[in-house]
Amino acid sequence: MTISESTPAADAPPTPVTRELNRSVLQQERARALFAKYGLTLESHEWISTPAQQPVSVQRVEKPIRMRVHRSCHHCGTTYGADKICNKCEHKRCKKCPRYPKKKAPVEKGKENEVAEKPRKKKLLTVTSKSGTERVYQPVKQRVRRSCHQCDSLFIPPTSTVCEKCRHVRCTKCPRDPAKLTKWPNGYPGDMEPDSETEAEKDMDLNLAQRTWRKPRTRVRWECEECQSLFVEGSPQCPGCGHVRCEKCTRKP
């Protein structure tokens, strides 16, 4: 290629293309497309006829479709306009201000092969139940239960160390189902010694020692014979009328 030859500039502005545009025809095409979208039919007699219009010559510039990019301030979250300064807090746009949509990270040629060579995840094995629903198959697991040796109640959940019924701290005497004495012959992990007293057991013993049985008592009330109001406990005079309690005043019970 010689220097005398001329080449078109790469950044030359696109040239406008002149086309004839008939607005009534465009409206009919849009209406038919809209009716077809919702499954309706457009008859010719239903269309409101407009006076015939001459096609108008319009100059249009063909441009590729571009993605609209939005940026928002990372201080106040306000979307930027045409300027690079936030209208709310007057912050100048920087690299910390988020962009929507985000830029795609460039993938190197060497990494493309690595991504392609990654092994695919194995599909989960599903089992169809009697009702017709699909359930994921999982391997069988052994369910372990621990029960208190004092009240024979189960520890809920099995990992808990204090019985909910008698507040006994799990010890080596509390049985395990299924038992695994070959691995833990002297007790399982987290178990206490059976003779050791913890704070919870001491508090329980103190509460039991302080309780004493007493005979239930009945509260006696007196009602004034004149105004039928109740006497205050420990006071012989009626709070309503000032009458002194006598034999005619009613006793309840």
Distance, in Å, from the CA atom of 129 to the CA atom of 135, rounded to the nearest integer, reads 7
What residue spans of 38-171 are helical by DSSP H? 109-116
What amino acid is encoded at 231 in this protein?
F
Residue 150: pLDDT band (50, 70, 90) is confident
Residue 73: pLDDT band (50, 70, 90) is very high
Task: Return the structure tokens found at 238.
Answer: 């009626």
Strand pairing partners for 196? none
Q: What is the mean pLDDT of the chain?
A: 78
The pLDDT value recorded for residue 47 is 73
Mean pLDDT of all residues in 192-199: 63
Whether the pLDDT of residue 186 is over 50: the answer is yes
Cα distances (Å, whole numbers) of residue 93 to 66, 74, 83, 102 = 22, 9, 9, 16
Q: What is the pLDDT of residues 103-143, one digit of tens each?
A: 877 766 666 566 566 667 666 677 777 888 888 777 788 88
Query: Which three-class secondary structure string do you get for 10-64?
Result: CCCCCCCEEEEECHHHHHHHHHHHHHHHCCCCCCCCCCCCCCCCCCEEEEECCCC
Whether the pLDDT of residue 83 is over 90: the answer is no
Distance, in Å, from the CA atom of 239 to the CA atom of 97, rounded to the nearest integer, reads 78
In this prediction the pTM is 0.27
Domain positions in the chain: 71-101, 143-210, 219-253
Lowest-confidence segment of 23-32, 58-67, 147-156 by average pLDDT:
58-67
DSSP assigned state of 142? -
Residue 97: pLDDT band (50, 70, 90) is very high
Q: What is the pLDDT of residues 213-227, one digit of tens each?
A: 888 888 888 899 889
Q: Angle at Cα 27 formed by Cα 58 and Cα 39, nearest 5°? A: 145
Q: How many CB atoms lie within 10 A of CB 168?
A: 23
